[in-house]
Structure 1
């Protein structure tokens, strides 16, 4: 199958050519959404950051700057107040890539109405420029794939997750990058992933990241092993955390783990990686976006419409009943494996094919539904 994309000046590849509207203060989120509605082809995000200096300051700066320079973006328009802390985000973004960046400040515009009008004019101009850029032939190694699951059920570990693992292995085998996240989701299975590490050091890093996560949860007085699986997981047929984790890990196929990434940090070379992310779906997608992931496959047994502003998100159903009940949010059904009408390899090939089709421009159900959720991940309370 042939692949096309947008070659970026920094050597990365994008499969979308969006103009992102990113507010750098929560009070400008409504203005960002207003710009999106007036400039077809632009996408906006909103968040709750009010620029207070938090313990998570570096994590937030990196997340904002990383998403603003995702390779799927032609340009990013920052809406800012005009403060030094916002300059920190913008300067960080400039250091990450060659994405065209425009900063419009409230201090110069004098009013939110003026700022919004300026942003609308700039967005319309940039969208037209983006439309003029042509796709060119791209190698499979251009793909940076995010592996996610949410609303897992008893079928997750025997249908969609291992089928996604088949697709991931095919991509990694051709020089692509694949990133598995959700630290909570591999509790009890970390030793199996560590055995697949390219070096003993990487294997120990996987063990250490999971241990660090469990220590932080225990410090808060939470028994994570007793709190998981979630109510939705149990209603879907999962009985233990270990069962859930073993199933979640199958998204990563059988390829060796090249390295371990901190949240929202981009890998330095191709291969399969584990990223330390929260289990929260939107925070995980935001971490992937900041790390340069340009397409994500999201398996689900209970159903979720969640998408991303910076990357297409493919939804794969674990069971036919759910895929049939909510076809407006599901892109592909892996329940056919349990139904006996497809083999694991056959369904995995379909996921692989769909990844290529979506990379080539086919819209996902999340994109068609306007789902481009975004959230900032915090480890600490934001109160001072």
Structure 2
């Protein structure tokens, strides 16, 4: 049994970070939120471009992501800043997050009398929340409480040969201790979905997985476009990946050999242990944001050509199998598994190193993305702007 150091939340969930989250309900609130973050240490902001001119499922998705970010157990408290006339219902967002038992404060720019007054009041509210969360202390937590996202971006030939299967070995170690693995990127299982489907624990799970592929391909057909050039990307192709099938075969190895317990929607909460697939875009920021909103604690992110991607509330561990990238982008890479390709290390040994890093980060060690302040956040959008 592996023990990590985390924070127990009032609703019984466990966090590995203790952030005060500054949440704009709409793009119009971004500047206020950004100014508060600049003035109050211990806060993180999630500026975004949505929250208005949305209807139907598109509006529901933005609402779900914002609520999910607030509910993520890595967040100790939330300050919501609304404008007052957007389609997002700030009061409902506040009430749903408060169900977790964590402190939530809501300010409205129009009600407060404008930008300057809201910033001033928001600074005081944020300081109050930071003081409250500072009372929390890390305690011993069983690894089975941990939800880990597995993601790849900026892939090259070394990704499928080395870093992805190494991460798969670490994934197996996590699931063996009853932890949870979440893999996304619907676009990047195309051509290999049948292999993933063989792991499904039921016909229902298998059908839902294939539905994800069919729905995506139908949307591509509706748009009358070819995904090639977008996926694989120019960087993928330059790195030696010629087809989406080739990329997908490497992509699916990140999750290891465990049975597929379920398929969840973008930002949908994870209710179980083991291996889950999230129907989500390949876009790095949107995918990781969806995982964070689903309750993932941290993400292991493999890359061949290199990427600095982080997230405001969850640590992102960068892993590469490309020795040149590990040296050239040393500022961004946490783990170099290129020794596997050199015959100096086995996949199992590299996977154990990744597992040990997960345990360390879950207990408080900072990733390089955190140290550098990478807080990329983006909500996947479905519909048009009205």
- Tell me if both proteins adopt one fold, taking TM over 0.5 as the criterion: yes
Q: How many angstroms apart in 2 are the aligned matches of 1:227 and 1:378?
A: 17
> Counterparts in 2 of 1:245-260, with a 5 A limit?
245-260=248-263
1:91 aligns with 2:90: no
> Counterparts in 2 of 1:279-294, with a 5 A limit?
279-294=282-297
TM-score if structure 1 supplies the norm length?
Answer: 0.96
CA offset at residue 50 of structure 1?
4.5
CA offset at residue 35 of structure 1?
1.2
1:100 aligns with 2:103: yes
Counterpart secondary structure, 1:263: coil
CA offset at residue 109 of structure 1?
1.6
Equivalent of residue 114 in structure 1, options 114, 117, 129 = 117
CA offset at residue 268 of structure 1?
1.4
What are the superposed Cα offsets for residues 106-131 of structure 1, whole Å, 9 maximum, x if unpaired?
13321211111111112122212222
Tell me the equivalent position of 1:24.
25
- In structure 2, the CA distance between the partners of 1:228 and 1:111, relative to structure 1 (3 Å rule), is closer
Tell me the equivalent position of 1:306.
309
CA offset at residue 269 of structure 1?
1.3
Instruction: Give yes or no for contact 1:69–1:98 (8 Å, CA) kept in 2.
Output: no
1:196 aligns with 2:202: no
Q: How many angstroms apart in 2 are the aligned matches of 1:277 and 1:128?
A: 36
Counterpart secondary structure, 2:257: coil
Tell me the equivalent position of 1:65.
67
Deviates further, 26-35 or 151-160: 26-35
Deviates further, 232-241 or 216-225: 216-225
Tell me the equivalent position of 1:12.
13
What are the superposed Cα offsets for residues 11-63 of structure 1, whole Å, 9 maximum, x if unpaired?
21100000011111212212211111111111111011242233401111101
What are the superposed Cα offsets for residues 194-217 of structure 1, whole Å, 9 maximum, x if unpaired?
100111221121111111111111
CA offset at residue 317 of structure 1?
1.2
Deviates further, 68-77 or 219-228: 219-228
Q: How many angstroms apart in 1 are the aligned matches of 2:229 and 2:27?
A: 36
Tell me the equivalent position of 2:300.
297
Tell me the equivalent position of 1:123.
126
1:185 aligns with 2:161: no
> Counterparts in 2 of 1:39-58, with a 5 A limit?
39-55=40-56, 56-58=58-60
What are the superposed Cα offsets for residues 176-225 of structure 1, whole Å, 9 maximum, x if unpaired?
11100000000001110110011122112111111111111111112235
Deviates further, 63-72 or 121-130: 121-130
Instruction: Give yes or no for contact 2:51–2:59 (8 Å, CA) kept in 1.
Output: no
Deviates further, 139-148 or 108-117: 108-117
Tell me the equivalent position of 1:241.
244
1:223 aligns with 2:195: no
What are the superposed Cα offsets for residues 139-185 of structure 1, whole Å, 9 maximum, x if unpaired?
01111001110000001011111111111111111111110000000
Instruction: Give yes or no for contact 2:303–2:319 (8 Å, CA) kept in 1.
Output: yes
TM-score if structure 2 supplies the norm length?
Answer: 0.96
Runs of 4 or more, structure 1, over 4 Å off, are none
Unaligned runs of 5+ in 1: none
What are the superposed Cα offsets for residues 75-130 of structure 1, whole Å, 9 maximum, x if unpaired?
010011235732233334345x3332110111332121111111111212221222
Q: How many angstroms apart in 2 are the aligned matches of 1:22 and 1:103?
A: 9
Unaligned runs of 5+ in 2: none
Instruction: Give yes or no for contact 1:214–1:224 (8 Å, CA) kept in 2.
Output: no
